[in-house]
Amino acid sequence: MSDVWLKVSQFLGSLNGENINRESYVRTPEYVKALEAWKETEQEWEAFLETLSEGQREKAEEMKECLEDFASAQEKRAYIQGYADCVQVLYHMGILKENGELVLGMKNISAKHE
C-alpha cells in the first residue's frame, strides 16, 4: 500500500467509530431503532443466559461475539465502500485526475474487500 493510501486508511480509521459523540457522527433512524431494541432486550438476554448451563452460556456468548464481529466487519466494509464510491464520483466529475496512486489505491481497496 502506498504512503498516501496508508495515511488515508489511518485517517478513516480514526473517524470510523472512534468518537461517537462528535457532531458529525451519523445516527440513522434504523440505527437508533436497533439500539433501542437492543437496550430493551439486553436485560432479557442476561436473564436468559442465567438459565443456561456454564457450557451453554459460553457457547451462546461465543455465538453472540461472532455475530458482533460479523456486524462490525460489515459496518467497516460499508464505511470504506462509501469512501471508495466518493472517490469514484469525484473522479467521474473530473474533480480528481487519474494517476498511478489513485488507480492502485482503488484496486487495493477493491481487492481487500471482495
For residue range 39-82, list pLDDT tens digits in order. Answer: 999 999 999 999 999 999 999 999 999 999 999 888 888 887 88
The pLDDT value recorded for residue 76 is 81
Q: Which of 23, 5, 3 is nearest to 83 (CA)?
A: 5
DSSP 19: -
Q: Is the pLDDT of residue 27 over 60?
A: yes
pTM of the model: 0.62
- Report pLDDT digits (tens) over 4-15: 666 766 676 666
Taking phi first (over 0 means left), then psi (-120 to 50 degrees means alpha), and beta for anything else, what does residue 11 get?
A: alpha
End-to-end CA distance of the chain: 17
